[in-house]
Homo-oligomer: A and B are copies of this chain.
Amino acid sequence: MKDDAISELKEKLRGISLIEHAIMLLEWDQETYMPPGGAESRAAALGEIVGIKHRRSQDPALGDCIERAEEVAQSSGDPDLLALVREVRYDYDQSVRIPASLATEIAETSSKALTAWRAAREKDEFSLFEPLLSKQVELQGDYADALQNDGFERYDILLNLYERGLTASEFEKICQQVVPGLRTIIERATENPSDVPSFMKGPWDKDKQLAFAREVATELGYDFERGTLDLTTHPFCTSPSAPHDVRITTRVSTDDFISNLYGVIHETGHALYEQGLDPEWEHTPLCDSISLGIHESQSRFWENEIARGEAFWSHFLPKMCQHFPGKLDGVSSREMAAAVNPVRPSLIRVEADEVTYGLHIALRFELEKGLFDGSISVADLPGLWREKMQEYLGIQPETDRDGVLQDIHWSFGLFGYFPTYLLGSLYSAHFYEAISRDINIDQEVSAGRFDTILEWLRTRVHAPGRRRAPLDLLEDATGSGLDPSVMISALDRKVEMVHGV
């Protein structure tokens, strides 16, 4: 009879997961095919369905069921059941702590803040965004207080929303290693600046770019029987139903092929994670990604570790030439690898190269931390942004549009999210190093054999789902804890190889 608690729990989780399926599809469509006139109704439909999901997630009957399931799991000793009830309990306890009135206020403020951010960016006028940004900081503080449990700082609690177990002091230590390490590499690389080689010049036919990118994604292991590739303004990956329905999007411009190709590979990395989740535990946290940092490690692994290497181009350059006859005659895979690995300080995070990227994150982390410990006020942000850009990257935005107003995240109240991008790079370097011990990666990639690498990730990173916390997963998979020097050394070697410095 007691086993019934597990079945009942799974049934309840399945219902919630199926409602999430609808939410994710409504959001996916909003970015891909929805006609503009449908925007207002779509927001309303999302509000309705999200409300239904919240009520189910906080239902006291779910709480009772979890309690009974915990007893069954404990007496069974089954590690999967124990992980299941642990994660479900975690989600439930988080969910019930948020008052409905706060959730509504955040949703409404986010909507207004998004509009204000768009206007402020359009007019390059930070003051238009400032009051709503202040409100979002205040509301996220309230949100952290509502979740408060073990005496953590507010910003720690927010960080934990995106990366379980991460604290500001730990991330600060990471930055203290990463920032000087990256700056040294950048200084060396920019002493010898390299021009963009002429073979990189456009125009690049859009349909051909998409056909080539699709071919690459397929070879890397993205299963189009369980996936799609559509066009959006901002690329993303979403899973209405992991691992069976996982979707990526991309953008394409005739000016260069980097944005499309590396965008598709990046999203493919995310999608491979979702397609590699454990179908046996579909609709439960065991078939869900553990954190944004681990998710990002998978996109960066394929984008940076694999697809920016010479071995990748020794396999794919002939294939790319077939799509673009005559355009790449005489280009070597080494030249191509150098061309796709620029190191150039620039203003916009999403356009930053692999080396300078981490500094954009360190800057944002310091500002967010200051906002929540009270040492920085919202009004100080534009000036501090310019100062820190100068300090870290040696350049300053002329406008706030290219500075503090460039990211959408804060308008949604996403504070503590940016650090996961850097964590993704750090984890990714660790995975690469660990795989190198088992597999001759260059040899496999040159031969177009990506399945051995994917299988390594499937077993150790994808299939566990939320069974293991991020750092435990890292330890299990690689045998070591997080060490920023792994990424720094790898970037150092790459820059030396590619730029000969």
**A residues touching B (Cβ–Cβ < 8 Å)?**
14-15, 18-19, 21-22, 25-26, 29, 32-38, 40-42, 44-45, 47-49, 52, 223-228, 230, 240-241, 244-245, 247, 282
Contacts and interface: CB of A to CB of B under 8 A. Distances in A.
Copy count, this protein chain: 2
8 contacts: A18-B41, A18-B45, A19-B45, A22-B45, A33-B33, A35-B227, A37-B223, A45-B241
A48 B228 contact: no
A17 to B, nearest CB: 9
Contacts of A241: 38, 41-42, 45
A42 B18 CA distance: 8
Contacts of A224: 35
Contacts of A25: 22, 25-26, 29
A454 B272 CA distance: 49
Nearest to A36: B225
Contact of A21 (B19, B45, B228): B45
Nearest to A33: B228
Nearest to A24: B45
B245 A15 contact: no
A18 B44 contact: yes
B228 A41 contact: no
A483 B324 CA distance: 63
B230 A38 contact: no
Nearest to A245: B38
B49 A22 contact: yes
A446 to B, nearest CB: 30
A40 B42 CA distance: 25
B244 A40 contact: yes
A117 to B, nearest CB: 24
Contacts of A225: 35-37
A245 B41 contact: yes
A34 to B, nearest CB: 7
A230 B32 CA distance: 12
A224 B240 CA distance: 26
A18 B45 CA distance: 5
B38 A226 contact: yes
Contact of A19 (B32, B36, B49, B223): B49
Contacts of A29: 25, 29
Contacts of A15: 48
Contacts of A226: 35-38
